[in-house]
Structure 1
Amino acid sequence: MFSKTNLLATITGGIAMFLLGYLIWGMAMVSFFESHSLNNIMKDPPAIGLIFIANLIQAFAMSTLYNKWSSGTYSTKNGFEFGAWIGIFIGLGLGLLWFSTSELMDTTGTLVEAIIDIIFYGIIGGIIGLTYSKVH
């Protein structure tokens, strides 16, 4: 669980998650999600340090699970597939759950968020898979 490979995959995945997340949700999609949000619950300013720590925790969980899921077959493609399943779980599973129980976003925002989550976590999984394939 605390191997060199897992640690490096956690760091690379966590940094990528933080930077890519900022590019997607902090820059590229801001106006889209503002127009599809039903309630503004965003902190101003957000706690950037805690976001980074949360990304490291997510990357650690993904890296640890990927190591077990991959059965020793490490690759970017395999990692992307793994990450996409995480994105389906979060984007569609939790996204539709939140949509059915709260008033955060409209239908369009929820579905676009699900698509972005699948691609986002797929990319992060690909980076984790690539790290495993190079270091392991």
Structure 2
Amino acid sequence: MFTKQNLLATAAAAVVMFLLGYLLWGIALDSIMKSHTITDVMKPDEEMNMGFIFLGNLFAALAMATLYGKWARGYHGVSEGFTFGALIGMIIGLGMGFVWLGTSNFMDTTGHLVEAITDIVYYGIAGVVISLVYKATAKKDAA
């Protein structure tokens, strides 16, 4: 289950997800998301725990890399990686987003839709990274 290929893809995706998450939610979408959050549920910046955030990204990357290894069936490319990651993003952004919209007051509808689109792009990029690592570490056929 945890091959060298899987662990390298996990490590690469975890780092990309951690940094990309900061760029997307921490910088680019910060004011948009805050303006569509209904209640003050976010911790102030000084209380954010980067260790837990990275750990969450690490486990998400491990699950994605493991699933990708089974899903891709040896076809590793940007398109396959993005498609795989975007599907994961749809599960989280649209699937869970609509459940949260129906059960909580975390964000308004616009906030959830922006979050869903961002999740699809974010996980799509993570899928590309995983795919490229799998491609780079795939055993070459002896001709």
TM-score, normalised on structure 1? 0.98
SS at match of 2:87: helix
Judge conservation of contact 1:82–1:125 (CA < 8 Å) in 2: yes
Which one of the candidate residues 91, 94, 105 is aligned to 2:93? 91
Q: Residues of 2 paired with 1:34 and 1:73: CA distance?
A: 40
Q: Residues of 2 paired with 1:80 and 1:135: CA distance?
A: 18
1:25 aligns with: 25
Identity of matched residues, %: 52
Length, aligned pairs only: 136
Judge conservation of contact 1:88–1:118 (CA < 8 Å) in 2: yes
Are positions 1:51 and 2:53 aligned together? yes
CA RMSD of aligned residues (A): 0.7
Which one of the candidate residues 123, 127, 130 is aligned to 1:125? 127
Deviations 1:73-103 (A, max 9, x none): 1112101100000000000000000000000
Partner amino acid for 1:58? Answer: A
Q: Residues of 2 paired with 1:13 and 1:87: CA distance?
A: 14
TM-score, normalised on structure 2? 0.93
1:12 aligns with: 12
- Comparing 122-131 with 40-49, greater Cα deviation is found at 40-49
2:103 aligns with: 101
SS at match of 1:74: coil
Instruction: After the TM superposition, list the runs of 4 or more consecutive aligned residues in structure 1 that deviate by more than 4 angstroms.
Output: none
Q: Residues of 2 paired with 1:8 and 1:60: CA distance?
A: 10
Q: Residues of 2 paired with 1:3 and 1:110: CA distance?
A: 36
2:38 aligns with: 38
Q: Which runs of 5+ in 2 are unaligned?
A: 139-143
Are positions 1:67 and 2:75 aligned together? no
1:78 aligns with: 80
- Comparing 122-131 with 44-53, greater Cα deviation is found at 44-53
Report the structure number with the largest CA radius of gyration. Answer: 2
- Comparing 71-80 with 3-12, greater Cα deviation is found at 71-80
Judge conservation of contact 1:76–1:128 (CA < 8 Å) in 2: no
Q: Residues of 1 paired with 2:63 and 2:136: CA distance?
A: 19
